[in-house]
Amino acid sequence: MRSIQHIHSDKEPHWVGDGFYVKTLFNHLDNDADFNHYHTDPFLLLDYGQPTNFAPNPNYDTQPHGVGQHPHKGFETVTIAYAGEISHADSAGGYGVIQEGGVQWMTAGRGIMHQEFHSPAFGQRGGPFSMVQLWVNLPSAHKLTEPKYQTLTRADLPIVDLTDSENRHAIGKAAIIAGEWQDTTGAASTFTPINLWDIELHQSGTTTLQVPNSHNVMILVQEGALLINDTPVSAGSLIQFATPTDTDINATNEQSATQISDSIELTYPKLSDNKQAPNIVKLLLLSGEPISEPVAGYGPFVMNTQAELKQTFRDYQTGNFGK
């Protein structure tokens, strides 16, 4: 079983623009000896948008809530809409709406300008809004790849039942955004081996996940409370699992290291009076093979060297960004 290294839940929320109220649970620019890019590689940043209620915006069509045009280069952004809707547009004329339950996987690659706002429909009606945005690094060989979008509706995501380890009844399900769960392959294409599973638990019991033991692994508790490896955790917590060691990833037979797995136990508990708790627990599992390359980052740019970073700034200032 992959042991829990630390539970991160002490981050203060802040506004990104005027539309996203988030906790940044990790950031590749942080210099914490116990929790830095080495421990999260290939993931760079995670913004947890805790459920927030927005009143209807009377100026939804001219002054939508969100973030205006800004650049990205050298990585990918993955945005998951748990509640509410997000409109996006870019400098190349691309436009779309991430509906509730949907995912947008944007490859910034060599550079793109884009903006993110509450959708007109959501701005007009208001209501609960909750999202997650994850930054995924690109290896040096693909830093300058052509920008692209993968727009994934809820219907595009394959669903796997999660069963109780003893009684084999279904206690939840996982939408496989990326990676693999048993024989099910996720909807998104990735540049390096990554698992991204959107998990819901709705009935008491214990289920076991299997993740490659060569991966860095984290779980975000988006909503609710449960036990992970018998440890109580609740909404807004990021569970950091032990970093793989050389022993972990050393294959002892002809299997590749990525085929050897570690287990993680999720337990949806009953209430003290044995009545089923009514709340759905929502989790996001992130696991990824470390890229293990240098990272030079500043703001919305993530390259491998300071020289590449400086060139990116020159290109941005001189009108050559993304070319």
Instruction: Judge whether 114 and 70 are in contact, CB under 8 Å.
Output: yes
**Of 30, 7, 1, 3, nearest in space to 236 by CA:** 7
**Does the annotation place 114 within a ligand binding site?**
yes
The residue assigned the tokens 């992130």 is 286
Q: Residue 40's CB: how many other CB atoms inside 10 A?
A: 27
- List beta partners, residue 58: none
**Does the annotation place 70 within a ligand binding site?**
yes
* Identity of residue 141: A
Quote the CA–CA distance of 268 and 211 in Å, as a whole number.
19
**Of 28, 65, 76, 305, nearest in space to 189 by CA:** 76
The CA distances from residue 215 to 18, 185, 262, 285, 289, in Å, are 35, 17, 10, 12, 5
The residue assigned the tokens 């050897």 is 260
Structure tokens at 207: 């289920």
Quote the CA–CA distance of 16 and 146 in Å, as a whole number.
27
**Does the annotation place 116 within a ligand binding site?**
yes
Instruction: Judge whether 233 and 224 are in contact, CB under 8 Å.
Output: no
Query: Dihedral sign, CA of 29, 30, 34, 40?
Result: negative
Measured between its terminal Cα atoms, the distance across the chain in Å is: 47
Quote the CA–CA distance of 239 and 199 in Å, as a whole number.
14
- The CA radius of gyration of the chain, in Å to the nearest whole number, is 20
Structure tokens at 170: 């279904």
* Identity of residue 294: P
**Helix ranges (DSSP H) in the chain:** 37-40, 120-125, 306-318
**Known binding residues for Fe cation:** 70, 72, 114, 116
Annotated binding site: 70, 72, 114, 116
